[in-house]
Amino acid sequence: MKILYILPVLFLFTLSASAQSEEDALKFSRILPFGSARVTAMGGAFTALGGDLTTLSMNPAGIGVFRKSEFSFTPMMDFAHSKTKGIDNEKNMFILSNAGLVLSFSPNSKTLKNFNIGFNYSTLNNFNRNTFQGYYETNGNSSLANVWKEEADGKSPKQLNDFTTGLAYDAYMLYLSKEDIENGNYDYENPIRETDQLQHYKYTRERGYQGEYAISLGGNLSDKFYFGATLGIQSLHYKSFSVYTEEIIGDNITNKLEKFSMYQDFTSSGTGLNFKAGFIFRPIPAIRIGAAIHTPTYYNIDAFAENNVSALFTEKPVEDAKVEPGFQYGNSAWTEYSYKLKTPWRVMAGVAVVLGQRAIISGDYEYVDYTAAKFSDDDAKNEYLETNNVIKNIYKATHNFRAGAEYRFSSVFCIRGGYALSASPYTKGEMNEDNDIQIYSGGLGVNLGSFYADASFMHKQSDLKGLFYYYESPNGTIESPEFKTKFYNNEFRLTLGLRF
């Protein structure tokens, strides 16, 4: 099966405009190391450590490690790059990575050393980036206009999809004469010829974030066993705008068509709930063993989608066409709708070695089964049945790993480093079966007792292959050239904290 790197709704011709794609399920389910400068500097390997506000959304037992009340906040600078065929696009962003408060209480108990309450916010995903994919050249046999024709043939203009073929018809990218309509001959013409030389390119602008507000409770039993639980309230905001263009090029252009574009504007916003629980066990002072489980996040999401097809001609495209300014023709369609998303369960375990007051070595393992992601709505017809089947067929369970280390030169100054691997969620044989995300990180820390400051740098890198369109019909397969885009992010965080 071909995996298309496309925006929701775009080119999914057989689905309604309100259908989400399998890529949306992955986008909102794949979580990479996040949070404070200390946690990210150590690659996110904190399942067995705790004592940091970020752990409220990782292993809630980490709240039990706090011996004092604490407040901290972490701003972040993100430099997001995407590169296709040597063309690099960058988006720089300043956001809040993490902020929260833990209140620690010491009851008069020999067993319960501490009982703590925590409130924290973490940005789980930052969607801000700009991407340009081009330039790719083909002849007229490979064109989105040919896909539109295949999808439209045999249907009257009134039966065309309002968000795809209907817009193409309004832009004269599909055409029927009055005689054809009267005679019921729905064999559409399109202006692309086999001999045309086409240049394909696409620009995408993405904005938004996925954040979590964590409300946590936890405690410390005899400095041996730490426990905690978190209610997670997630906030999701995602917006994308894309323009896909095919332009006729060459020295001997005889086609009236100069170029056509398909524009998409898509917005989704919603909230979700989940629950997390975990523990940390210290069998001996130097060893810590931790584990946590996260329920799925249950989202209710509102969405807006608008499509536009615009075609530019050198003269009237057909004799019975009206004369438009600049011979540019097109139309738009939009819709609003709501849907539900259930993300996968997550299970994580970790081991850490604490060597006195000098060094920490920590490792994490995480299991996520992306086939468990599921869309639904309140309609008994369940229009997401096909998409959910695709999710089960193309995704798989993944085994993710994180490792980190910290070395303290003194009670004041330390250095940190880490590595994380988010394994590809695609099954073997899929176009993106090698879509691993690798993360390298490092940082510094200064501890002045009541006040501390940490700084970190994190580098993320991955590759993604895709097609602008792909269509199978009895007449054969129509597909765009395959592109490969390299994504990498450079993130800088600074955490300032106060213990009291």
pLDDT one-digit tens code per residue, 141-152:
999 999 999 999
Residue pLDDT, tens place only, 316-371: 999 999 999 999 999 999 999 999 999 999 999 999 999 988 999 999 999 999 99
Q: What is the pLDDT of residue 52?
A: 97
Nearest residue to 40 (alpha-carbon basis) of 126, 112, 135: 126
Q: Which residues pair with 254 in a beta bridge?
A: none
Give the pLDDT of residue 271: 98
- One-character DSSP codes across 50-80: --SGGGGGS-GGGGGG--S-EEEEEEEEEEE
**Is 232's pLDDT higher than 90?**
yes
pLDDT at res. 483: 94
* Burial of 1: CB neighbours in 10 Å, binned 0-12, 13-18, 19+: exposed
For 279-322, the pLDDT digits (tens) are: 999 999 999 999 999 999 999 999 999 999 999 999 999 999 99
Q: Which amino acid is at 24?
A: D
CATH code (residue 406): 2.40.160.60
Average pLDDT over residues 22-28: 93
Global pTM value:
0.92
Task: Label residue 19 by pLDDT band (50, 70, 90).
Answer: low
Q: Tell whether the model's pLDDT for residue 4 goes beyond 60.
A: no
Tally helices (H) and strands (E) across the chain: 6, 20
State yes or no: pLDDT of 7 exceeds 50: no
On whether residue 17 sits in a domain, the answer given is no
Cα distances (Å, whole numbers) of residue 112 to 104, 283, 291, 298: 12, 17, 20, 34
Give the three-state DSSP class for 450.
coil
Does residue 3 belong to any structural domain of this protein? no
Q: What confidence score (pLDDT) does residue 2 get?
A: 42
What is residue 16's predicted lDDT score, i.e. its pLDDT?
Answer: 42
The whole-number pLDDT of residue 125 equals 97
**Total domain count for the chain?**
1
Instruction: Indicate the length of the chain as a whole number.
Output: 500
Model pLDDT, residue 8: 32
Distance CA 25, CA 28 (A): 6
Res 381: pLDDT: 60
Q: State pLDDT tens for residues 38-77.
A: 999 999 999 999 999 999 999 999 999 999 999 999 999 9
**Burial tier of 194 (Cβ tally within 10 Å: 0-12, 13-18, 19+):** exposed
Give the integer Cα–Cα distance in Å for 379 and 413.
58
Q: Is the pLDDT of residue 244 over 60?
A: yes
Residue 444 near residue 455, CB atoms below 8 Å? yes
Give the integer Cα–Cα distance in Å for 135 and 480: 12
Residue 14 domain flag: no
pLDDT in tens, 172-213: 999 999 999 999 999 999 999 999 999 999 999 999 999 999
Residue 10 placed within a domain:
no
pLDDT given for residue 254 in this prediction:
83
Q: Which residues contact 361 (CB under 8 A, 6 or more apart)?
A: 352, 353, 355, 404, 405
Share of the chain above pLDDT 70, in %: 96
Quickly list DSSP for 318-344.
STTS---GGGEEEEEEEEEEEEEEEPP
DSSP one-letter code for 395: B
Residue pair 463/487 in contact (Cβ under 8 Å)? The answer is: yes
Please answer whether residues 280 and 50 qualify as being in contact, where contact means their C-beta atoms are separated by less than 8 angstroms.
yes
Whether 379 is in a domain gets the answer yes
SS3 label, residue 425: coil
Tell me if 7 is assigned to some domain: no
Check residue 17 and give its pLDDT.
46
Residue type present at position 233: I
Cα separation, 389 vs 371, whole angstroms: 9
Q: What is the pLDDT of residue 356?
A: 87
Read off the pLDDT of residues 411-460 as tens digits, 9 standing for 90 and up: 999 999 999 999 999 999 999 999 999 999 999 999 999 999 999 999 99
Cβ atoms of 68 and 104 within 8 Å: the answer is yes
Burial classification of residue 264, based on how many CB atoms lie within 10 Å of its CB (0-12 exposed, 13-18 middle, 19 or more buried): buried
Which comes out higher in pLDDT, residue 3 or 469? 469
The boundaries of the domain holding residue 441 are: 22-499
Residue 2 lies in a domain: no
With 60 as the cut, is the pLDDT of residue 18 above it? no
**Cα distance between residue 175 and residue 24, in whole Å:** 34
Measured in whole angstroms, the distance separating CA 12 from the mean position of its chain's CA atoms is 19
> Pick from 18, 22, 12: which is nearest to 371 by CA?
22
What are the pLDDT digits (tens) for 115-148?
999 999 999 999 999 999 999 999 999 999 999 9
Q: What is the DSSP string of 126-168?
A: E--EEEEEEEEEEETTS-HHHHHHHHHTTS-GGGS-TTTHHHH
- Give me the residue label for tokens 């064109």: 143
In a domain, 315, yes or no: yes
Residue range 370-417, pLDDT digits in tens: 999 999 987 656 778 889 999 999 999 999 999 999 999 999 999 999
Residue 253: per-residue pLDDT: 83
pLDDT of residue 102: 98
Predicted confidence (pLDDT) at residue 12 exceeds the cutoff of 80: no
